[in-house]
Amino acid sequence: MRTSLSDQLGIRHAVFGFTPFPAVAAAISRAGGFGVLGAVRYRAPGRLARDLEWIQEHTGGMPYGVDVVMPAKRAEAATEDEVEAMIPAAHRRFVRETLARYGVPELPDGEGGSWRITGWLEEVARAQLDVVFDYPVRLLANALGSPPADVIERAHRHGVLVAALAGSARHARRHAEAGCDLVVAQGYEAGGHTGEIATMVLTPEIVRAVAPLPVLAAGGIGSGEQIAAGLALGAEGVWLGSIWLTTEEAGLRSAALTAKLLAAGSGDTVRSRALTGKPARQLRTAWTDAWDDPAGPGPLPMPLQGLLVAEALSRIQKYEVTELLGTPVGQIVGRMDSVRGVQAVFDELTAGFERAVRRINRMAGEGG
């Protein structure tokens, strides 16, 4: 699964694996892909530094990258306290009532919410970058559009490639104009924040829109055959995220969540604003249903929603309240039916890719 981009980066497979788990990122790079650590959950720069140090020691010298979430333009209310003050009392009451309806216990005294996503606040993301550039990362990806111009310039000074996710050709062209080095064409099927255009349609549109800039196909990809399809559509590689959630290296602490992921079909996800305030694909649960119910107050815009629900989601996860328990995941969840190692996933991807290539070559030969 080699392309000119994989050759440029010195990796065997043009498979970029996004994950919030350092052990998974390192295993992806060791397996011949390109591990990308999601930094959005890191509030403490010291913890991010420790995990990057660990990755550096466990990639076997293979390259890796980091994914941040930051807006291209600076927000007026930049601090967390200022944003918190904007959350309406009615929304806080709705959270309390929903948790009470399902009997979700309070967190113990002194235990704060661990599920505190604040990385899309610019002050947090910039603190993360101060750590990231101390390590030999090869790629900086931004999940919220093009990074600010000064961040792109700083990355390039460090010899770091910059990638941005796009859900439309219009967005992709903006990334190219901003100076990004590659674009991730993330289709509707993807887990997390995603647009409304399917991967099969989106990938060739973006390839045409930003040529000769490299494009990675993303969204609903979890087999070697799908990787072959992405490359056939003009992509220089693929960006996979959801498929790593049920790997051994991810080590999900929640047995209930693992069971839900393994049992879910491709129709068991929903694109909802309940998690962060922006449309994000995730497991459909009673929690997402409550926020999407027209009778409720509806989700707040980013980043208010993420701050509002942070402690609630920590409580749901800690006590494994099954009806409410969910996670961002793409429609590829229907293929995630067993827990296995990252290397085993790569072995299956490689075998499927080879089958697809042999089949196309055979068809091309017969046609000739």
From CA 107, how far away is CA 263, in angstroms rounded?
A: 28
Where do the H-state alpha helices sit in 102-212?
122-132, 149-157, 169-178, 199-210
- What span, in angstroms and rounded, lies between the C-alpha atoms of 300 and 127? 25
Residue 123: predicted pLDDT: 77
User: Do 210 and 242 touch, CB atoms closer than 8 A?
Assistant: no
Query: What's this model's pTM, rounded to 2 decimal places?
Result: 0.92
Mean pLDDT by 10 residues, the chain (368 residues): 95 97 98 95 89 96 93 58 86 97 90 54 84 96 90 96 97 97 97 94 98 97 97 98 97 92 97 93 97 95 88 93 96 96 97 96 80
Spatial distance between the Cα atoms of 194 and 356, rounded to a whole number of angstroms: 27
Please give the angle made by the CA atoms of 186, 188 and 194, to the nearest 5 degrees. 65
Q: Residue 264's pLDDT is what?
A: 97
What pLDDT score does 79 carry?
Answer: 65
Structural contact between residues 45 and 150, judged by C-beta atoms closer than 8 angstroms: no
Where b means 16+ CB within 10 Å and e means fewer, 335-368 reads bbeebeebbebbebbbebbeebbeeeeeeeeeee
